[in-house]
Structure 1
């Protein structure tokens, strides 16, 4: 049986994985959360075209883009909505492999997932759990 999700397996990965130059790394799975309706005079990431609050079909969107770029009159039933994407914390992990495993299993429920590294500096609970995993990984198994 694989020890991937055991304390020993986690401890082995903590000892061998790249810590991305971070002391006490926390590998965080994040996703992009779309926030529509931002002011285009400030920061935005992109815009979408809507009709009655729903995104329009790609061919309609392409036509609206052409009209807009040419300075033409957009029919009043269409609205240009400015959006920003915000990084949203999903789950923390002790190892990057654990975070990547989570993404592989849950990608269908996530929007543009990625792994980001935070630090557990001055977090005694996280540090204690990491140390417990490392100690468990260093124990040798007794052969019977």
Structure 2
């Protein structure tokens, strides 16, 4: 038994039945308000709280041992066990629900047969390249204007160029479309959420699945998130 509780009990046992004399007004008010019965009630409340804390500590110890046992046998860990680990970690650590949603998606999403998948948002951009090498199209630009000419004008200029005719006042460029990295997410839903918020600022965006092969940092965080999931309200 805690020594502090024993001291309080002894104080209650020896508490005077009559009010002390000669006390300051503050102390006198304290003795008027507090009785041995009040102290006894506080002791009982403290003992109950300590018992509840001990029970919680025992549960946490059992949970930690169970998690360690499951994680030490990854080959035998199935989806049900992963969910159990996830729920135990959530209760012990108190992580936000958003972590749980990410973990659930990581365990259930289609990874496109990709090891350690990274879901990436790309957008298409064009760059000027040499016509002698690979290119996608030819663009004509009026030197005194802003941007490309209309399709009809571009066709006429291209015909003149092929016939070695004069096209002064216009510039001809070979264009190649490339993919430009925008952002990366752990899940496909993360990419879709990003596109819902920022897709209007991108040019022909699309989602591509890459791999975090030999990217230890990404793999460690992704594997940890996979054990943090669990059932979240509204996730079904």
Q: Specify if TM > 0.5.
A: yes
Higher percent of residues as strand: 1
Structure 1 residue 62: deviation in Å?
3.7
Picking from 108, 112, 116, the partner of 1:24 is: 116
In 1: Cα distance, 2:119 partner to 2:131 partner = 33
User: What's the CA shift string for 1:28-48, capped at 9, x where partnerless?
Assistant: 111112102x11111111111
1:45 aligns with 2:45: no
Consecutive unaligned residues of structure 1, counting only runs of 5 or more, are none
Residues 161 and 167, structure 2, Cα contact 8 Å, conserved in 1: no
Q: TM (normalized to structure 2)?
A: 0.52
Is the partner of 2:229 in helix, strand or coil? helix
Consecutive unaligned residues of structure 2, counting only runs of 5 or more, are 1-96
In 1: Cα distance, 2:139 partner to 2:218 partner = 41
Q: Please list, as runs of the form range in 1=range in 2, the aligned pairs for 1:124-135 lying within 5 A after superposition.
A: 124-135=216-227
In 2: Cα distance, 1:68 partner to 1:107 partner = 38
Tell me what 1:116 maps to. 208
Higher percent of residues as helix: 2
Picking from 189, 201, 212, the partner of 1:97 is: 189
User: What's the CA shift string for 1:37-92, capped at 9, x where partnerless?
Assistant: x11111111111101163113342243345456x2624211122101112111100
In 1: Cα distance, 2:104 partner to 2:138 partner = 45
Q: TM (normalized to structure 1)?
A: 0.81
In 2: Cα distance, 1:13 partner to 1:35 partner = 36
Query: How many residue pairs end up in the alignment?
Result: 135
Task: Quickly say closer, same or farther: Cα 1:13–1:74, change in 2 above 3 A.
Answer: farther
In 2: Cα distance, 1:138 partner to 1:113 partner = 31
Picking from 153, 156, 167, the partner of 1:60 is: 153
129-138 or 16-25: bigger deviation: 129-138
Residues 160 and 167, structure 2, Cα contact 8 Å, conserved in 1: no
Alpha carbon RMSD of aligned pairs, Å?
2.3
